[in-house]
Amino acid sequence: MPVLTETHRALIGKETAPQPLPEAVNIAMARHWCEMVEDANPIYFEDETARQSWLKETFAPPTMLFTWKMAPVWPEREVVSALSGLELGGCTLTLAVNAAQEYEQPLRYGDTLTVTSKISAISDEKTTRLGTGHFITTTDTFSNQRDEVVGTHSFTLFRYKPAGGEA
């Protein structure tokens, strides 16, 4: 059974070093994102509309925050994660449970971001219809080139051993 140990508990709150993200915040990716989710808000791309807002200039959709962390598919690149050192014996499957974001600063086109990651919580062992394992919450903190926090992304997943032992 996947038992939570002191070694696991020691990982909670341990933050990774800041990692530069693969792409600067850019208008091309924002346009693709807006097309994908059918968000036609002109404040993201029209200077005049943005100038009339409290933000005074265009910015990337806040909901893209986690997107900037996604590593390119090719060429492959190593991604350091707070979960890299987490081994839960027998827990071979992972299910996404919840994601939440908080926004502190607008993402301006041209911003270069860094991210730090940490495990915020690991539950005691839980058994569900899917199997037995642990709910794990990670928190990514995104900062811009001025070291200002622009937002956080909290992600909860269930890492588990499948019921009946089949993968």
Domain assignment present for 149: yes
Q: What would you measure as the largest C-alpha separation in the chain, in angstroms?
A: 60
Domain assignment present for 124: yes
pLDDT in tens, 127-166: 999 999 999 999 999 999 999 999 999 999 999 999 876 5
Cα dihedral 149, 14, 8, 80 in deg (nearest 10) = 70
Per DSSP, the three-state class of 94 is strand
Distance between first and last Cα of the chain:
15
Domain assignment present for 29: yes
pLDDT in tens, 103-133: 999 999 999 999 999 999 999 999 999 999 9
Two structure tokens written together for 111: 């911003």
CATH number of the CATH domain containing 156: 3.10.129.10
Query: In angstroms, how far is CA 5 from the centroid of its own chain?
Result: 25
pLDDT of 7 > 70? The answer is: yes
Report the domain count for the chain: 1
Give the closest residue to 57 by CA, choosing from 92, 122, 108: 108
Parent domain of 64: 6-165
Site of tokens 């071979």? 92
CB contact burial 90-123 (16+ within 10 A = b; e otherwise): ebeeeeeeeeebeeebbbbbebebbbbbbbbebe
Domain assignment present for 115: yes
Domain assignment present for 1: no
Measure the CA angle with vertex 106, ends 104 and 111; round to 5°: 115
Backbone phi, psi, residue 51, to 5°:
-60, -30
Backbone phi, psi, residue 124, to 5°:
-65, 170
Residues 6+ apart with CB under 8 A from 134: 2, 4, 88, 91, 122, 123, 124, 125, 126, 158, 159, 160
pLDDT in tens, 67-83: 999 877 777 777 667 77
Per DSSP, the three-state class of 43 is helix
Cα(136)–Cα(124) distance, integer angstroms? 10
Question: 1 pLDDT band (50/70/90 cuts)?
Answer: very low
What proportion of the chain, given as a percentage, has pLDDT over 90? 75
